[in-house]
Amino acid sequence: MKAAHEGPLTFAEVQPNDGLKAALARKRPDVIAEITRSGLRGRGGAGFPTGVKWNLAGAASGEEKYIVCNADEGEPGTFKDRVILSQYPDLVFEGMTIAGYVVGAKRGIVYLRAEYTYLLPQLESVLAQRREHGLLGHNILDKGFDFDIEIRLGAGAYVCGEETALIESLEGHRGEPRNRPPFPVDTGFVRRPTVVNNVETLAWAACILARGAEWFRGFGTEKSTGLKLFSVSGDCERPGVYEFPMGISIGELLEEVGARDAKAVQIGGASGHCVPRCEFHRTIAFEDVATGGSVIVFGPQRDMLKIARNFLEFFTEESCGQCTPCRDGNPKLLEGVRLLEEGRCSMRYLRDLIALGETMRVASKCGLGQSSPNAFLSIVKHFPQEIMGRTPQAV
């Protein structure tokens, strides 16, 4: 366990640019093989194997390809990318450069969350230094490889963290997810093959190249290897950014952050799942409870309906408004929570809403809509006593 507020993270132990040097000294397929062997999976939450993604983009036809760093960290309760970008930006740029080398891209774009605009001058100066040191631009490290990175700012829409909406936004369109397939590795930014990776994924990729796949596999579980940063907030004694191996149990994690009396934990932000105390033995891993790193702790005094309402208010506002289930479904779930709060929701209507939530999970166009009912559904499932039977309020 490492905590960002107590000292350096594992990222600090990696020699700067060791990963890049190691990568450029090897053939592209070998680099991909190394990443694949490490078992690294997308740290944004979806957990797509990074090696597979790079391989697909590398194999896609076309001269022009792009590497996009998804720094639109907008999931409520997630702030680990901010720590990486402010303390270890070189590692992220290094990871992008490696990805560029591997898939044959010459341009990288960082899509930076609007709220992180204050990081821009620092990030730009890091880029300038890297150019000066021959780590970006023409003929990187004299290996005949050209790659450069620019930073673009988001404008505050949560949905732009979804990779195809992000690409739309980069192209100057309204930030709305595209139809998939095809996926960005085939048809991404300006219709060219594009790798979109989370900030943390790129940083770990650089570390893996520097220290080897075996080192990374030494942490975590068989299906969820390596280390992971967690943004811990809510009713705990020591909130902050933590580094844990994947596969840690929720109970262990809560122990570390000082949240022994938690009644529930929201794993994976607003779009994640609400795990009740009786399931704290479960592990944080792609095969069990997946997360992009957000852990929100709810103490015994918390009203679970208020929590559900808070998340649903968020989705009702942040849905891109494109597809029916998400645009119109979230307000209906929100309305249902209000009815529950007022003690005016019938069992029959609650069942309708649960069924609606299931429809939203399978019929929405993108991950936002598909995951937006998760919190509601898990709260309704795990806390029926608490949410039902409220005293009807005078209307």
Annotate each residue in 190-209 with x if it binds another protein (CB under 8 A) or - if it does not, as one string.
-x------------------
Binding mask 368-387 for another protein (x = CB under 8 A): --x-----------------
Is 180 a binder of another protein (CB under 8 A)? yes
What are the structure tokens assigned to 59, written together? 């194999």
Burial-class residue 258 by CB neighbours within 10 Å (0-12, 13-18, 19+).
middle
Q: Does residue number 307 form part of the binding site for another protein (CB under 8 A)?
A: no
How many whole angstroms separate alpha carbon 82 and alpha carbon 79?
A: 5
Q: Does residue 165 touch another protein according to CB under 8 A?
A: yes
Residue selected from 217, 249, 324, 390 as contacting another protein according to rule CB under 8 A:
324
Return the axis-axis angle of helices 199-211 and 80-87, rounded to nearest 10°. 60
Tell me whether residue 1 or residue 363 sits nearer to another protein (CB atom).
363
The yes or no reply on residue 115 touching another protein (CB under 8 A) is: no
Measured distance CA(158)–CA(318) in Å, rounded:
6
Bridge-based pairing of strands 240-245 and 227-234 is: antiparallel
| Strand (E) or helix (H) holding 375 | helix 374-382
Q: From the list 143, 302, 361, 390, which residue makes contact with another protein (rule: CB under 8 A)?
A: 361
Q: If you write DSSP's letter for every residue of 97-146 in order, what string do you get?
A: HHHHHHHT-SEEEEEE-GGGGGGHHHHHHHHHHHHHTTSSBSSGGGSS--
Quick one: 80 or 365, whose CB is closer to another protein? 365
Answer yes or no whether residue 254 interacts with another protein by CB under 8 A: no
In the region spanning residues 61 to 80, those forming contacts with another protein, defined by CB under 8 A, are: 61
Residues 6+ apart with CB under 8 A from 372: 270, 271, 312, 315, 319, 326, 329, 330, 360, 364
297 counts as binding another protein under rule CB under 8 A: no
Contact 77, 294 (CB under 8 A): yes
- Reading the block at residue 6, the tokens are 């107590």
- Binding test (CB under 8 A) with another protein, winner from 58, 108, 247, 329: 329
Single out the residue of 27, 45, 100, 25 nearest to residue 290, CA to CA. Answer: 45
List the one residue from 18, 64, 352, 386 that touches another protein (CB under 8 A): 352
- Give the one residue of 68, 323, 337, 387 binding another protein; rule: CB under 8 A: 323
Cα 206 from chain centroid (whole Å): 18
228 or 309: CB nearest another protein: 309
Q: Is residue 4 involved in binding another protein (CB under 8 A)? A: no
Q: Establish if 319 lies at the interface with another protein (CB under 8 A).
A: yes
- Indicate whether 338 belongs to the interface with another protein (CB under 8 A): no
Q: Segment 256-295, which members bind another protein (CB under 8 A)?
A: none
Give the whole-angstrom CA distance, residue 166 versus residue 198: 12
Number of residues in contact with another protein, rule: CB under 8 A?
Answer: 48
Among 214, 306, 359, 381, binds another protein (CB under 8 A): 359
Beta-sheet pairing, 148-153 with 2-3: unpaired
- Closer to another protein at the Cβ: 72 or 148? 72
Which residues, in sequence order, are bridge partners of residue 225?
220
**Which of these ranges, 99-107, 108-116, 241-249, 309-317, lies near another protein under the rule CB under 8 A?**
309-317
Q: Which of 65, 178, 211, 309 binds another protein (CB under 8 A)?
A: 178
Interface residues toward another protein, by CB under 8 A = 60-61, 157, 159, 164-165, 168, 171, 173-174, 176-182, 186-187, 191, 315-325, 327-332, 352, 355-356, 358-359, 361-365, 370
